[in-house]
Structure 1
Amino acid sequence: MSLCIENLRAWYGAAQVLHGVNLVIGEGEAVALAGRNGSGRSTLAKAIMGLVRCEGDMRYRDVRLVGLRPYRIARLGIGYVPETRDVFPALTVRENLLLGERKGTRFTTHEAYRLFPALEARAAVKAGLLSGGEQQMLALARTLAGDPSFVVIDEPGEGLAPHVLAQVAACLKTLRERGVAMLLIEERLTIARMLDARVAVMGHGAIRFDGPIEAFARDAQVMREWLFVG
């Protein structure tokens, strides 16, 4: 298996956010993580990357992640695209891509331009001047330049125009075909449906549902208790 999480707890300072998360993601599998705002989804992403204090058992290909520094986790082959995108605004598109590139990567700058033509057209433009959709494409492409075998992507479709969303989804579909596993944090599950991803639902810092997207769509109680607002 790719990632195995057991009884994971995490804190921001004294405030506990994750209360015993259990989740397994197999090699090449895509899992969409749904839930209300504040349910702990982004905290789980940060915990995987070593960005918050956590306890419990979390292993990637049998290597224990808890306690590792973020750069060591990245070197194991785990990529992360945060909701904030975090491109380097003063660097050009091409410089951002080169900064993330790893020797021998399967995802070269040329391939980034093939999957996202808008990036090639804006290659000499500083990243801070890009639109939100272009920054999302750049953040994803830069992460993939590190040749990850597992990616964590926080709200990949947030605020994107339909044609940009389709490009992002096509890129993620290509990754799945190459055997890259992924955890997608999505509120509306738009990309998850395109990828036929498994769905896990978080509530109060724990996994409350885990199963095929078809079973999730039929489970009115899960939707009512852990997703609907009001």
Structure 2
Amino acid sequence: MSAALRIDGLRAWYGAAQVLHGVNLCIGEGEVVALAGRNGSGRSTLAKAIMGLVRCAGDMRYRDVQLVGTRPHRIARLGIGYVPETRDVFPALTVRENLLLGERKGTRFSIRDAYRLFPVLEERASVKAGALSGGEQQMLALARTLTGDPSLVVIDEPGEGLAPQVLAQVAACLAALRERGVAMLLIEERLTIARMLDARVAVMGHGAIQFDGAIASLARDEEVMREWLSIG
């Protein structure tokens, strides 16, 4: 499997505080990798580093294009989408207007596709995003990112605060994307969606990758579970 994203020795800082201490990670084309770890382990910082939102150093390549030092809008145009934990929809705009902002001409994933995956978005197309529930905002943030036609999507805590029914719907959407060949870095503390997708798992601790392997192997590794995770 060829690599969509290859990270070697990545370091990152907020001001003078170093958060990432030599991250090594590879995501293949069309592969789903779940990134687990306790709060403060560096997971969200890695997502921001991939998108050019924090100061970083090292080697990070998307399809052989160097991302370190590249501006965020150029990274997005390369084909990397980002759904932050905060969702960041435009509350004063309608659902449809939010989707139109993300849409690119010639995309493989249209607004019509978004409505098919998330019918509630079509039902509420004329409703302002600020009036949506948390689950609906998560669907909208994901759909808006996908209308930009990414080949790799970085998704930070997609299931946070969602009801089980909505969580299953988001997981089904991500499974459909995998079938279309979209690679994903899925940041989850409890690996709920990762288990549904049987994703490969990388575990972060102290700003570095401490485990990288199959989710079944992680479940059998008591030392990693005890030392680096707060999940059962």
Among 73, 83, 86, the residue aligned to 1:84: 86
Cα deviation for residue 228 of structure 1 reads 2.6
How much identity, in percent, do the aligned residues show? Answer: 86
Q: Which amino acid aligns with 2:123?
A: A
Matched position secondary structure for 2:108: coil
1:71 to 61, 70, 73: 73
Letter in 1 for 2:162: L
- Report the 3-state secondary structure (helix = DSSP H, G, I; strand = E; otherwise coil) of the residue aligned with 1:2: strand
**TM-score of the two chains, using structure 1 as the length reference:** 0.99
Superposition pairs of residues 1-230 of structure 1, within 5 angstroms = 1-228=3-230
Deviations 1:156-182 (A, max 9, x none): 000001111111101100110011100
The CA distance in 2 between the partners of 1:59 and 1:115, in whole Å, is 31
Is the partner of 1:134 in helix, strand or coil?
A: helix
Letter in 2 for 1:199: V
* SS of residue paired to 2:19: strand
Mapped partners of 2:185, 2:77: distance in 1: 18
- Aligned mates of 1:19, 1:187 — CA distance in 2: 20
CA distance in 1, matches of 2:22, 2:82: 22
Matched pairs, number = 229
**1:143 to partner: Cα distance:** 0.0
- Per-residue CA distance 1:43-100 (angstroms, 9 max, x = gap): 0000000000000000000000000000000000000000000000000000000110
* Superposition misfits of 4+ residues, deviation over 2 angstroms: none
> Which one-letter code corresponds to 1:47 in the other structure?
A
Computed over aligned residues only, the root mean square deviation of the Cα atoms, in angstroms, reads 0.7
For 2:47, the aligned partner's letter is A
Amino acid corresponding to residue 45 of structure 2 in structure 1: T
Deviation at 1:127, TM superposition (A): 0.3
What's the CA shift for 1:111?
A: 1.0
Cα displacement string for residues 112-159 of structure 1 (whole angstroms, at most 9, x for unaligned residues): 111101111110000011100000000000000000000000000000
**2: CA distance, partners of 1:122 / 1:163:** 18
Partner SS for 1:133: helix
